[in-house]
């Protein structure tokens, strides 16, 4: 068996917390991943979401931005096993543990890479409600690739940046292990291959 590698994950929901305050009622409109093992991205609309699970089950880590508090609890309503079995690395939580506060992904992207997200989550919900599925998929894949870009930068350079009133500030990170480590837990396979 080849070495297990991480996936970067992002998903968009059909509804907002204002409409449904519980994660399990938000519904997935689209979920996208960048799979390091294959070197490419995939996107799945809700009806095809079961095709995502083999990719997650063979990954070492699920990497994301706010993945522990948002993406995985939403995805957990679709996954036939326990979502808690997956090893995760949450960029947002790592930054919060270092700074004592949260930063937006755009803050990291702008200061570190000079890039910005192509929109915001509420726009993705509008795409879904308006039936603009291709735009929705493009937006979600774009978010995954931007999250991958910030993760790759942190892996390579051991730092990322953010801006405040004093200018550009460095955050030292130790993310290389999440790209090199095969993960500690064995995820029980819940799907036939």
DSSP output for 166-178: TEEEEEE---HHH
C-alpha closest to that of 89 among 113, 65, 105: 65
d(CA 85, CA 133): 31
User: How does residue 190 score in pLDDT terms, banded at 50, 70 and 90?
Assistant: low
Indicate the DSSP class of residue 192: -
Instruction: Report the percentage of the chain scoring pLDDT > 90.
Output: 64
pLDDT tens for residues 10-33? 998 886 655 555 557 678 899 999
Helix (H/G/I), strand (E/B), else coil: 131: coil
CA distance 90 to 63: 6
E strands, 65-133, where? 88-90
- For 56-72, what is the mean pLDDT? 94
Does 114 score more than 70 pLDDT?
yes
The predicted pLDDT at position 97 comes to 96
Each residue's pLDDT tens digit, 128-182:
889 899 999 999 999 999 999 999 999 999 999 999 888 899 999 999 999 887 7
Residue with tokens 């799907």: 191
Output the pLDDT for position 132: 92
Tokens of 171: 């955050």
Q: pLDDT at residue 9 above 90?
A: yes
pLDDT of 1 reads 46
Q: Give me 176's structure tokens.
A: 């290389």
Residue with the larger pLDDT of the pair 38 and 27: 38
Average pLDDT over residues 183-190: 57
Maximum average pLDDT range among 60-69, 112-121, 125-134: 60-69
Q: What is the mean pLDDT of residues 80-102?
A: 93
**Per-residue model confidence (pLDDT) at position 121:** 61
């Amino acid at each position: 068996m080849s070495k297990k590698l991480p996936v970067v994950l992002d998903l968009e929901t059909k509804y907002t917390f204002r409409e449904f305050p519980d994660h399990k009622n938000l519904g997935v409109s689209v979920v996208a991943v960048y799979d390091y093992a294959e070197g490419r991205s995939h996107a799945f609309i809700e009806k095809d979401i079961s095709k995502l699970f083999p990719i997650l089950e063979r990954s070492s880590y699920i990497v994301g931005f706010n993945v522990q508090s948002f993406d995985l609890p939403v995805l957990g309503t679709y996954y036939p096993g326990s979502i808690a079995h997956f090893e995760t690395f949450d960029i947002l939580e790592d930054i919060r543990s270092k700074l004592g506060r949260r930063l937006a992904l755009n803050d990291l992207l702008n200061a570190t890479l000079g890039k910005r997200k192509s929109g915001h989550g509420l726009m993705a919900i509008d795409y879904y409600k308006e039936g603009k599925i291709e735009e929705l998929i493009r937006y979600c894949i774009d978010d995954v690739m931007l999250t991958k870009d910030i993760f790759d930068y942190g892996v390579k350079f051991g730092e990322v940046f953010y801006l405040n009133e004093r200018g550009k500030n460095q955050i030292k990170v130790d993310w290389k292990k999440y790209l090199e480590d095969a993960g500690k837990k064995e995820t029980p396979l819940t799907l036939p291959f």
